[in-house]
Amino acid sequence: MGASFNKSEITQNSTTNLYEDFIQKTVNSNKIVVFSKTNCSYCTRAKALLSDLNLEYNTIELDRNEQCPESNCQSLIKSLVYQTRIRTVPQIFINGQLIGGYTDLESMSRDKQKFQEFLNKKN
């Protein structure tokens, strides 16, 4: 299991529309998106696996405020957890669909033909 968020990071509030929109735009405009933290070993493994598979991906590091709207990753984390109901990272989206974390990605990638078909689907 990757890094997790504490309960104070989960509560939905009125400012989340900006962050929900950011998540949706990011996920829908990139084939692969990894929401990550720089100190998370499973995040590092997921990014390494994607690189080993020669796949381009966009990473949002949730502990780097400069990558988050209004330099506020805490609100982005709250919105991400609220939307996905997952409190750990990495959270990996392919073709606009949440596939899960590192172990889910690793498992999917074992069946190369099925994984390639999934990658080739349109959003």
> What pLDDT does residue 84 have?
95
More confident residue, 47 or 15: 47
Question: Is the sign of the CA dihedral 41, 42, 47, 51 positive or negative?
Answer: positive
Name all domains of the chain by residue range, CATH numbers in brackets.
Answer: 7-120 (3.40.30.10)
pTM for the complete prediction?
0.85
> What pLDDT does residue 1 have?
55
> What pLDDT does residue 10 have?
46
The per-residue pLDDT of the chain, averaged, comes to: 88
Residue appearing with tokens 């506020």: 72
Tokens for 41, please give them. Answer: 């070993």
Cβ(63)–Cβ(38) under 8 Å? Answer: yes
